[in-house]
Chain A
Amino acid sequence: MPASEATKEKLKQAKATRGSVPKELLEKMRESNRIQKAILDTLPKFELVGSGGIEAKTIPQIASATQISEHEIFWHVNALRKYNKIHDVKKSGDYFTYAKK
């Protein structure tokens, strides 16, 4: 959504007071977005799970598909779960499986 004039003015004031946003912070956000996109790209849609052999995925399966550590994947899966982008589906062995909404 494009910023309104009022928001632009607030941001201008904030940048004048605080200085520009640190590059590391922007980089951290980009990395987080990259991981979340990779997770969502890997997961099947919840409605499709069970049809045509499509299965929801466990944390190790997502980690293996994305080449990102299981710990990091698990944290982001829970972040996406909290903000309603991911469903947990069912138990599969020692793990739960997940699908995107």
Chain B
Amino acid sequence: MNAPVNTNASVNANATSNPKADVLIIGAGIAGLQASLDLADQNRQVILVERNPSIGGRMINLSKVYPTLDCASCITTPRMASASHHPNINALTYSEVKNVEKHGTGFRVTVVKKPRYIDEDKCIGCKRCEEACPVFVKDEFEHNFGAKKAISIPFTNAIPQLPVLDINNCTLCGACANACPTDCINYTQQPVETVYEVGAILVSTGYQLTPANAKPQYGGDKFTNVLTALQGERLLAPHGPFGRVLRPSDGKIPDNIAFIQCAGSRDQSIGLPYCSRVCCMYAIKQAMLLSGSLPTADITIYYMDIRAFGKGYEQFYQNAKAMGIHFVKAKVARIKETEDKNLMLRIERQEDQSQPEEVQHDMVVLSLGLKPDWNPEAINLNVHTEYDGFVKSPKAPLQPNITTMEGIFAAGAATGPKDIVDTIGEACAGAMEIENHLRRMEWRLS
């Protein structure tokens, strides 16, 4: 459990309103976690700011990673635990950066800690509040497939193990307060602003998927059995919302599943002309995992071209073909829902005969593209972005972490779509760049 900001010994606080640290990292996904651990191990004081109630980012939401098919949370959880226990890291969860201004050789950063409506010092993470709460709401961690209570710990291995009360769905019945053995529920808690003084900033804000309705002809926001790629990940996760792979409309075991590639990227018409770099591989990975879970299911990937550029990726692709996954070079024009909630795809093959044809599947996963998840210009940073909204790296590829503003660095998918391997590599490089910068600036905490 994290101590509150002003009493955390890992921050060298001159005053309660101006605690000082060497580095502030925005985003505690895999890039932010890796960079914070590298810097903290070099004895730098790090403030790690995460807008969600738990650290871990997107990666903790994934089932497995490609091409090794290692468990994603087995890679992420140890880093989450190390970061939360490191004496040089102050992880501020459920907090957002509100403002950044230049101050001497460093920066002044205003961070707003959103109310969880509990006293974090008193809470022991016993979940009795969650058991007692009578209100069921959609669980964002499960991309709305699952349910949670209006007061709940975000997910099983969340760090910190502290609940958040969804005040907008709270009926003020008092059940949680009655059940709490430490009297920690506070229905009137307010946001808290703290100004930090830091020597450098790392932007590791990651990505978001393009909206499911980016291409309305695919019905991503209308048809229950058309899933986003991240929903596909949750279905495949060992502790996913249904406990196994079932289709969301009626709990049927699907036996004919399609993946549609480039469903949210490489398309001028939706303003995303670039390749999102990871979709081919994550679709192949999900198809292989599905094939393992549902050995008799037909799995088809409709693609423009397969981009398997990383180490071991081509072999991974060949393995998927050998497992019997169908790769069909075709463009999907539209999807229609049938009465029994199956999906009729109108496709045009790009090999052999090119007559349009209609094929039926009972579940479809859209390989959506990646967009930046944060706009640095929104908080008065002089950090420029590229035409696509990702942070501009003027010295890439040799120094991809350098941004257009001295002292502010970026890593991971904040600078462009990239996979986990490249993200971790870039985060390590970012930590080195920051260390060099702090030495050059002769930054001192005292």
Contacts and interface: CB of A to CB of B under 8 A. Distances in A.
A16 to B, nearest CB: 9
B171 A29 contact: yes
Interface in A13-65: 13-15, 17-18, 21, 25-26, 29, 32-33, 36, 58-60, 63
Interface stretch (B31-39, B195-203, B243-251): B243-251
B252 A94 contact: yes
Contact of B246 (A3, A6, A26, A96): A96
B405 interface: no
A77 interface: yes
Contacts, number: 100
A21 B175 contact: no
Contacts of B29: none
B253 interface: yes
Given A7-B178, A74-B250, A82-B147, A33 B134 contact: yes
Counting contact residues on chain B (CB < 8 A from A), the size range is: 35 or more
B243 A71 contact: no
B186 interface: yes
Given A59-B250, A70-B251, A94-B253, A11 B178 contact: no
Contacts of B186: 10
Contacts of A1: 175, 178-179
B156 to A, nearest CB: 11
Interface in B75-100: none
Contacts of A8: 174
A18 B250 CA distance: 38
Nearest to A6: B183
A40 to B, nearest CB: 14
A67 interface: no
Contact of A96 (B135, B178, B179, B251): B251
Contact of A79 (B147, B246, B248, B253): B147
Counting contact residues on chain A (CB < 8 A from B), the size range is: 35 or more
Contacts of A6: 177, 183
Contacts of A25: 169, 171
A13 B188 contact: yes
B376 interface: no
Given A77-B251, A79-B136, A95-B251, A11 B187 contact: yes
Nearest to A81: B243
A21 to B, nearest CB: 5
B275 to A, nearest CB: 34
A8 B403 CA distance: 53
Interface in B129-185: 131, 134-136, 145-149, 167, 169-172, 174-175, 177-179, 183, 185
A58 B250 CA distance: 9
B172 A74 contact: no
Contacts of B249: 70-71, 74
B313 interface: no
Contacts of B167: 18
B243 A3 contact: no
A45 B246 CA distance: 23
A71 B171 contact: no
B242 interface: yes
A41 B427 CA distance: 53
A83 B133 CA distance: 11
A33 B187 CA distance: 23
A78 B147 contact: yes
A96 B178 CA distance: 37
A59 B178 contact: no
B171 A21 contact: yes
Interface string A65-94: 000001100111111011100001001001
Nearest to B150: A29
Interface in B257-297: none
By Cβ-Cβ distance, the 5 closest A-B pairs, closest first, are A79-B147, A14-B187, A70-B250, A59-B251, A7-B177
Interface of B: 131, 134-136, 145-149, 167, 169-172, 174-175, 177-179, 183, 185-188, 224, 241-244, 246, 248-253, 255
10 contacts: A11-B174, A14-B188, A18-B167, A25-B169, A58-B251, A71-B249, A71-B250, A74-B251, A75-B145, A83-B131
Given A18-B188, A79-B136, 9 more contacts: A1-B179, A4-B177, A7-B174, A8-B174, A11-B172, A63-B250, A74-B250, A81-B243, A95-B250
Interface of A: 1, 3-4, 6-8, 10-11, 13-15, 17-18, 21, 25-26, 29, 32-33, 36, 58-60, 63, 70-71, 74-79, 81-83, 88, 91, 94-96
